[in-house]
Amino acid sequence: MKTTTIEGWLFDLEEMGTALTLWVYIDDGQLLKLTDEFRPPFCVTGEMEALKRLCATLYRQGLITGGRWVERIEFWSGNTIQAFELNVADASLLPKLRTMAAALDEHFQFYNFDIPVAQHYCTLRQLFPTCRLTAEIDQFGNVQAIAATDSMWEMNYCLPDLRILKMHGEKLQPLNPHSRLILECADAELTLPLQADANTIEQFNAFLAEQNPDLLLSERGDTILIPTLLQLAKQTNTPLKLDRDQVVTTRRIETEGRTYFSYGRVIYKGPNYPLFGRWHLDATNSFTYHEGKLAGVIELARLSRTPVQRVARLSPGSAMSAMTLDTALQQGMLVPWRKSEPEAYKSGLSLLTVDKGGMVFQPPVGAFENVAEIDFASMYPSLMVRYNLSPETVLCGCCENTEVPEAHYNVCRKRRGLMGTTLEPLIERRRQLKLQAKQTDDEHERAMLAAQRTAIKWMLVSCFGYLGYKNARFGRIEAHEAVTAWGRETLLQAKELAESYGYEVLHALTDSLWIRKPGLNENDVKQLCDRITMATKIEMSLEGVYRWLEFLPSKSNPTRPVPHRYFGLFTHGEMKVRGLACRRSDTPEFIKEVQQQLLALLTQAHTLAARQQMQPQLDALVQTYLAQLERGEIGAKQLAVQQVLSREPEEYAVSTRAALAAEQYRAAGVPVHPGERLSYVLKDTKAKDKTERVMVAASETPIVYDVAEYIRLLNAAAAEVSFDGVGL
């Protein structure tokens, strides 16, 4: 068969039954649609005769195409064992196979069974999204051979210029005759009414075809815009042509997402609408895009071997999990289908010893000069690498030692842990990106590097929590406890070293120290950081030297310190703020802006004495905005409180403001879900009629609002940054 060799980069890949559809941009600018046959393999272990019967049954039912004996590494023991590897006849049959497997758990162990198909394909083919590749293809676009020609760890990878179409709406909640869809691409722009009119869909299709974007970048595209367009297309019997691949089946219209509970928060995840042959990213439905923009999304896609549209809608923790799966598969490990390692029994006294979390000091309340903040870089991931802390290495069955401080857990010295193997290149990559950013004067390049670094930061942050997650396949609570134990030990070691060089430790928080000393200067602090790095083998760096820094008290008790409320001015002019009103998501934008203006004024105060002298100027600014509030001049959008709905509206026992706002949304025909952020204005917080206490409003025009309550909020925000005196 005659074949052609192509070179290009992997734009996207989609699961299509017995094959993967690959979209490849070749070097002349063409986007090719290719097909590569792929039947995902999975492994089973069990009693020999039972395995034979199982395979025969699966084969008769057309669920598998065949199998073979393979040698693989069992994760927990590290032993090489024999397993039977089977290939799924069609990837769409995997859900049925998993249902069958769940009923057979007592007799068989299933492995590599729920790895996302596209990621599994990339791992076995050694590909990754946006990689450079070379491929042999036949005349029908079927892949005969394919290989990546660059590495996912490439520092300076290049991508073709992507054509981006931006899509957003106006007056969307609830949909009404004034609702509009706005499309922008390069110099072209189109505004369409969101009404059941075939002309709307036809104009949308024509604009999309004319502009032919690679990326549809939307605001609320997943939750409102695309479901609405699909509904309008259905009502007018007009096809909606979102995809480059027009052989796609009709999409199901989904307006409901899912609500889940994570780390004490109720989170709502909206539905998602990926496209075929082009990307769709919803900026409001992607944490990774919010934090790292497109460069951050692509960075995670490359490192986790996960398609761009999918990784954009996953949490960084899920991307970290995908990287861990990839490492396990590369090492020939069997990936457990479900968590199988229970937590070891602990007495109450033992729990008091090991279940402590990170080290947290209580700082003195007040303002201080000559203060520096120093931080360990990626502390927990670095500890996992340095001390070989991984689920299978902590409490291993082969080594006898008591290496972990306080807990006295043993740690394996014979095998390298999965987590350390996964994390080490990630930590080094983040370090290299930081170094590269310091060496460039190009602002665009610096921004791209910062976005990549931010994406990796969130992956590293998540890896520690994943160890303690109760359902993590590679999780083990004792590994989690070992990391925090070493974290406490390392921070105390840094504290004692700082004190030995004459520094006073004002505050310590998990991986950071705030230190002061008369005549403190940057060079001396950097030397201290170097000494701590040498002693702990974990990089300690200078976050900054403060001209002044203030630790704030508890809101409920002015004499009680709290660890997470402080603000201060660095010598380079930047203000660092934690725990103030302007950092809270439920603070009205108007209050945030006033406090930010007050903080901006304080950047002119280079000493505490100068700051004290500026207080009348701050008071005058506050009075100006108080007067605007009293005159009713502030619009609803500036006064809106953003609050997450923690449960269904009817489940609230007390009529909270969020519950009252949710009822108003529903009355207006706008569906609301637990975990969604609601926006409302405080209308009359003490009204006997509860429905008058808050008001849902999206208008920017002045409205009737609770002047006294907003004055209270503004005064409280101003008080947070008022000067109360010098610390001890």
In sequence order, what DSSP letters do the residues of 163-181 get, joined into one string?
PEEEEEEES-SS--TT-EE
- pLDDT of amino acid 690: 86
Domain identity same for 365 and 415: yes
Q: How far is it, in rounded angstroms, from Cα 108 to Cα 101?
A: 8
CATH code (residue 455): 3.90.1600.10
Given 557, 579, 601, the domain boundary residue is 579
- Can you give the pLDDT at residue 727? 52
Whether residue 554 sits in one domain with residue 462:
yes
Q: Give residue 433's pLDDT.
A: 93
CATH number, domain containing residue 103: 3.30.70
Report pTM.
Answer: 0.89
- 107 and 231 co-located in one domain: no
Q: Are 580 and 562 in contact (CB under 8 A)?
A: no
456 and 515: one domain? yes
- Residue 610 domain-assigned (yes or no): no
Residues 431 and 557 in one domain: yes
27 Cβ contact partners less than 8 Å away, ≥ 6 residues apart? 7, 8
On whether both 82 and 220 belong to a single domain, the answer is no
Report which DSSP code applies to 364: P
Q: What is the pLDDT of residue 299?
A: 96
Q: What's the structural domain count of the chain?
A: 3
- Give, for 300, the enclosing helix (H) or strand (E): helix 287-304
Question: Identity (one letter) of the amino acid at 267?
Answer: I
Cis peptide bond upstream of 558, omega within 30: no
Alpha helices in 164-286 (DSSP H): 198-211, 226-236
Contact yes or no for 391/476 (Cβ under 8 A): yes
Same domain, 406 and 524: yes
**What's the confidence (pLDDT) of residue 728?**
46
Q: Mean pLDDT per segment of 10 residues, for the chain of length 728 residues? A: 91 92 92 95 92 91 91 93 93 90 86 92 97 94 95 89 92 77 92 87 94 94 90 91 77 59 54 90 90 93 96 91 94 82 57 68 93 95 95 89 87 93 95 91 90 93 71 77 93 96 95 94 96 96 96 88 94 95 94 97 95 94 95 90 84 83 82 83 89 75 83 95 69
Q: Would residue 187 count as lying in a domain?
A: yes
Q: Please report whether residue 338 resides in a domain.
A: no
Measuring CA to CA, which residue among 4, 285, 248, 46 is closest to residue 140?
Answer: 4
Answer yes or no: is 691 within a domain. Answer: no
What's the gap between Cα 386 and its chain centre? Answer: 25
Which structure tokens are listed for 669? 């025909």
CB-based contact 54:18 (threshold 8 Å): no
Residue 685, H or E segment: none
Q: What is the DSSP letter of 248?
A: P
Any domain includes 427:
yes
Joined together, the tokens standing for residue 555 give 């809101």
87 shares a domain with 193: no
Token readout for 210 is 């004319």
Residue 353: CA count within 13 A, CB half-sphere:
13
Rounded Cα–Cα distance for residues 174 and 631 (Å): 30
Q: Is residue 482 part of a domain?
A: yes
Tokens of 23: 């979209």
Domain for residue 261, yes or no?
A: yes
Full residue range of the structural domain in which residue 254 is found: 164-295+303-314
Nearest to 119 by CA among 323, 280, 315: 323
Read out DSSP for 384-444?
Answer: HHHTT--TTTBT-SS-----STTT---B-SSS--HHHHHHHHHHHHHHHHHHHHHH---HH
- Of the three residues 114, 130, 150, the one that is the final residue of a domain is 114
Beta bridge pairs of residue 545: 372
Q: How far apart are CA 614 and CA 19, in angstroms?
A: 68
In a domain, 197, yes or no: yes
Same domain, 436 and 541: yes
In this structure, what DSSP letter does residue 352 have? H
Residues 478 and 364 in one domain: yes
Check whether residue 245 and residue 360 sit in a common domain: no
Domain end position, chosen among 560, 579, 598: 579
**Residues 365 and 419 grouped into a single domain:** yes
Q: Is 486 left (phi over 0), alpha (psi -120 to 50) or beta?
A: alpha
